[in-house]
Chain A
Amino acid sequence: MRNPFRNEADAFRLVLLTVGYFGLIVVAAAINTWLGLAVFVVLTLLAIAAVMRSRREPPQQAVIRPSAPGERRILVVANETVGGEPLRDLIHRRSEGVEERVRVVCPTLMSPVRYFASDEDRPRAAAHERLERSLGRLRDLGITAEGEVGDADPLQAIEDALRSFGADEVIISTHPEGRSVWLERGVVRAARERFDVPITHVVVDLEAEEAEARP
């Protein structure tokens, strides 16, 4: 659950919301007692709905560990799309003249039912397989990388990885628009709002690349 007192900015927002909430109730009650009651009920329901919605959103902020001099740490986050020329070119461009350290994070993809039941053995095993495939693909492209399986929520997975890895840049690799669930859910935009690390979005269309590669 998102904690409104997680940081000062959230707490300040809560002050403003409280002023608005009680301000509207008091004004409505001054006009008519029943109107005040109605406004109270409506605003309270809206507040509950907002809290329920925010419970689905991941918490904010991460502690970022700086990289050593002469080193560039790149965090690649993808579910199934690690690989492809755009990603390889980007990593090579970013690590020119410095020693690159690449970490791949594959979030554990699972249904909400499995998530709430903590039934994550099979999804984690599947994520491990995807991670191994991804590391293999990167090796084929000439990039040495380490990897880990992350949280089911891609933003939480990034936050967790940033805590232990302290990346200089995060690359989010997705399918093209229209086929990517992450793009539809605004994961890239949310990551840019949430983390102080540069976020680069790479569209990887492995199917198109494979089709092009066929004779």
Chain B
Amino acid sequence: MSAHAEAAHHAAHPPEAHRSSRVDAPTLGMLLFIASEIMLFGSFFTAYFFIRVNGNAEWPLEPFHLPVFVAGVNTAILVTSSFTIHWALQAIKRGNRAGLQAGLVLTLALGTTFLATQILEYARVGFAPHDGAFGTIFYGLTGLHGAHVFVGLTLLTFATIRAFRGHFTESHHHGVEIPGIYWHFVDVMWIVVYATVYLL
């Protein structure tokens, strides 16, 4: 291409934006967001471990009791939802739109069940956020996670609506991939919360 032709070409079409080849912009955005989330959860966990180590007593403190079994079932539900969102992504990568839709609907259903169960658990657990540091940190950590589940469900709802409108293809499915990454992050955080607060 001559210099003149190249100049004319650039005038009509601006050159492609320069960007790092290491990671594409939407994924990098999600990474930075998740990094900030980890810092947020990190501060809550710091408070939790401070209270627990400083208390130097059995956990949970008497007379509180944590619903370990119900939360365990809820954990299984949330882990299963990671499988279903992964299945949805794999389905659309193979061009299987029905699989994508089914996977997303199942993930939404499982996520909603998790959230509903957590709300029910709050109603039955027998203590409130103002019942000392223990109650505060329990509701703080699980509530913070619950808020993230709600955000994840909102993102998945948009993805599901778009899936039913035929928006995604084998090569173009960022709108599912990004909420999927976020959903897995929410799942990982719950496993950490459940293991540390309920089990250990």
> Do A and B associate with each other?
yes
**A1-39, CB < 8 A from B:** 3, 5-9, 11-12, 14-15, 18-19, 22, 25-26, 29, 36
Q: CA–CA, A160 to B194, complex, Å?
A: 41
Most buried by B among A8, A26, A163: A8
Q: Are B79 and A15 in contact (CB under 8 A)?
A: yes
Q: Which residues of A contact B199 (CB under 8 A)?
A: 22, 26, 29
In contact, A59 and B180 (Cβ under 8 angstroms): no
Interface size bracket, B side: 20 to 34
8 A Cβ contacts from B148-200 to A? 176-177, 180-181, 184-185, 187-188, 191-192, 194-195, 199-200
Can you list, as one digit per residue, whether each of B80-94 has a CB less than 8 Å from chain A (1) or not (0)? 001001100100000
Residues of A within 8 A of B181 (CB): 5, 7-8, 11
Is B7 close to A, CB under 8 A? Answer: no
The interface bits of chain B over 50-79 (1 if a CB of A lies within 8 angstroms of the residue's CB, else 0) are 000000000000000000000000000001
Q: Does B34 contact A (CB under 8 A)?
A: yes
From A9, A25, A36, name the one whose CB has the most chain B CB atoms within 10 angstroms. Answer: A9
Q: Is A159 an interface residue (CB 8 A)?
A: yes
Is B27's CB within 8 Å of the partner chain A?
A: yes
Give the A interface residue count (CB, 8 A): 23
Residues of A contacting B11 in the complex (Cβ-Cβ under 8 angstroms): none
B191-A19 in contact (CB<8A): yes
Known: A7-B177, A160-B21. A25 touches B184 (CB 8 A): no
Chain A residues with a Cβ under 8 A of chain B: 3, 5-9, 11-12, 14-15, 18-19, 22, 25-26, 29, 36, 59, 63, 156, 159-160, 163
B residues whose Cβ falls under 8 Å from a Cβ of A = 21-24, 27, 30-31, 34, 79, 82, 85-86, 89, 176-177, 180-181, 184-185, 187-188, 191-192, 194-195, 199-200
